[in-house]
Amino acid sequence: MVTIRLTRRGARNQPYFHVVVTDHRKRQGGKSLELVGFFNPKARKAEPKVRLDLPRIEHWVSVGAQVSERVDALVKAYRKQAVAAAA
């Protein structure tokens, strides 16, 4: 099964996460199929907190990929933010 989930990067006390498409059996930091975005929980004012490639995420979901709970929440918030920015 293919999963869309977060993988941790960054230094100690400075977490930074990649949103990746990977086989669910691979370990958390292992090889992934595709990088579809990032999440920076400690972003400063000028830095983006989240950037996602929504068309690619929708593609992977359409072919059967499962989305983790945290990534699902990030996608929903990102979509809401994108709609608000467009209006």
Domains of the chain, residue spans: 2-86
pTM, whole model, 2 decimals?
0.87
Pick the CATH number of 2-86 from 3.30.1320.10, 1.10.4080.10, 3.30.420.40, 3.90.1150.10: 3.30.1320.10
User: If 0-12 CB within 10 Å is exposed, 13-18 middle and 19+ buried, where does residue 26 land?
Assistant: middle
pLDDT in tens, 30-80: 788 999 999 999 888 888 899 999 999 999 999 999 999 999 999 999 999
Q: In what order do the strands lie in the sheet with 66-67?
A: 50-52, 34-39, 14-23, 2-11, 66-67
Query: Which pLDDT value is given to residue 55?
Result: 94
CB atoms within 10 A of CB 80: 10
